[in-house]
Amino acid sequence: MAAPDPAAAARDGIRCMLMRGGTSKGAYFLAADLPDDPAERDDLLLRIMGSPDPRQIDGIGGAHPLTSKVAIVSPSTADGIDVDYLFLQVGVDAATVADAQTCGNLLAGIGPFAVERGLVPATGERTTVRIRLLNTGDTATAVFATADGRPDYDGDAAIDGVPGTASAIELEVGGGPEKPLLPTGSATDEIDGHTVTLIDNGMPVALLRADEFGVDGSEPPAALEGDAELAARIDRIRLAAGPLMGLGDVAPQTVPKMILLSPARHGGAISTRAFIPARVHTAIGVLMAASVAAALRIPGAVGSGLAGPLDGDETEIEHPTGSSRSHVHVSRDGDGTWRATSSTMRTARKLFDGTVFPRPRR
């Protein structure tokens, strides 16, 4: 479609649904309601979210990376796929819109949103939606409750980091045979004097031992964010890891995620603190957890020696506000290539559905 005229968009608005997906929150759009040109689209989204501004006071962003997210959904032309999902991370205090990663938390809302917008019909009490993740090329299957032809958001499922309960959404994500789990082919690499595991089980992450950085891994996010020297050391590794993972120059991007690992303290398999990258996640992303869980099952990978006993394919990943359960199946091809698929339970909820009004200009 043609790019909305700034004055017309500000006057007439853009159709938008705000949803909580997992432990994140974002604005969901149909691709047809946004400009085709990426630069025009990004400019519009910055004006909708209220960026750049640390408070995002003149937009609908929540002044934190976990609440400054956008999901764009369209019917898919791929065989066996219902909808395509493009994730965009909108900067809070910077005028940036990054597309190098996907978001497993907002992924939880894609199936319900597709039903809400009439892209996929509800099928009785349970509906299945097949999703292509355009950022990464992965595919996902979402299974969730529906009633009277609409998503049913009420239920008894609880996830740490989200108050109350909601209806469970089962997510299964797989990278396909052409996507190796270890982008460099090695269980560990040396970067800036540290042993690092670079792994991508739906989310590119770099795994590090917390004790190598003078922390024990139990610190609250605010304490880690306030340590400028620590943040600089970790970001140096991130910038070097990007090209090794095939991501190119990641200076303007939000990947790879940098995760400090330490022994579990509350009965889980491992404890995590995830830099995303400037802020520290108050929980952990779905696909970040899946990447951590996969690494624990690879001999010699960072974290494999710290992990408690692993119970089959299920892994409990501890994070600052509780824990997240991730189910991963890891296998190794005859040529030594590691691969993985993952599944997890999330919840999502529609917060509002209507028209959002971007400011006329940035």
Residue 72 lies in a domain: yes
Residue listed under structure tokens 């303007």: 252
On the question of pLDDT at 180 being above 70, the answer is yes
Are 219 and 129 part of one and the same domain? no
Q: Identify whether 119 is part of a domain.
A: yes
What are 65-84's pLDDT values in tens digits? Answer: 999 999 999 999 999 999 99
Q: Percent of the chain, pLDDT > 90?
A: 90
> Which CATH number fits the domain that encloses residue 63?
3.10.310.10
Angle of helix 286-295 relative to helix 104-116, nearest 10 degrees, comes to 130
- Is there a domain that residue 200 lies in? yes
pLDDT above 90 for 50: yes
- Name the pLDDT band for 361 (thresholds 50, 70, 90): confident
Query: Is residue 162 very low, low, confident or very high in pLDDT (cuts 50, 70, 90)?
Result: very high
Counted domains in the chain: 2
| Residue 5: predicted pLDDT | 67
Query: If 0-12 CB within 10 Å is exposed, 13-18 middle and 19+ buried, where does residue 308 land?
Result: middle
Torsion of CA 43, 49, 54, 57, to 10 degrees: 120
Residues 76 and 159 both lie in one domain: yes
Quote the pLDDT of residue 197: 98
162 and 80 share one domain: yes
Domain that holds residue 29: 6-168+347-356
Which residue from 267, 327, 273, 324 is spatially nearest to 297, judged by alpha carbons?
327
Please tell me the predicted confidence (pLDDT) of residue 177: 62
362: in domain:
no
Contact predicate 141/171, CB 8 Å: yes
State the pLDDT at residue 56.
98
Q: 47 and 107 in one domain?
A: yes
If asked whether residues 154 and 215 sit together in one domain, one would say no
pLDDT at position 279, please? 94
Same domain, residue pair 199 and 79:
no
**Over 80: is that where the pLDDT of 178 sits?**
no
Confidence at 10, pLDDT banded by 50, 70, 90: confident
Domain-embedded: residue 180: no
**Which range is most confident: 171-175, 261-265, 326-330, 338-342?**
261-265
Question: Of 153-157, 176-180, 330-334, which gets the smallest average pLDDT?
Answer: 176-180
Note whether residue 183 is domain-resident.
no
Tell whether the model's pLDDT for residue 296 goes beyond 60: yes
Residues 77 and 196 occupy one common structural domain: no
The b-or-e profile of 232-260 (16+ CB within 10 A means b, else e) is ebbbebbbebbebbebeebeebbbbbbbb
Q: What mean pLDDT comes out for the span 235-258?
A: 96
Provide the token pair at 135.
């950022």
Mean pLDDT of the chain: 95
198 with 189: CB under 8 angstroms? yes
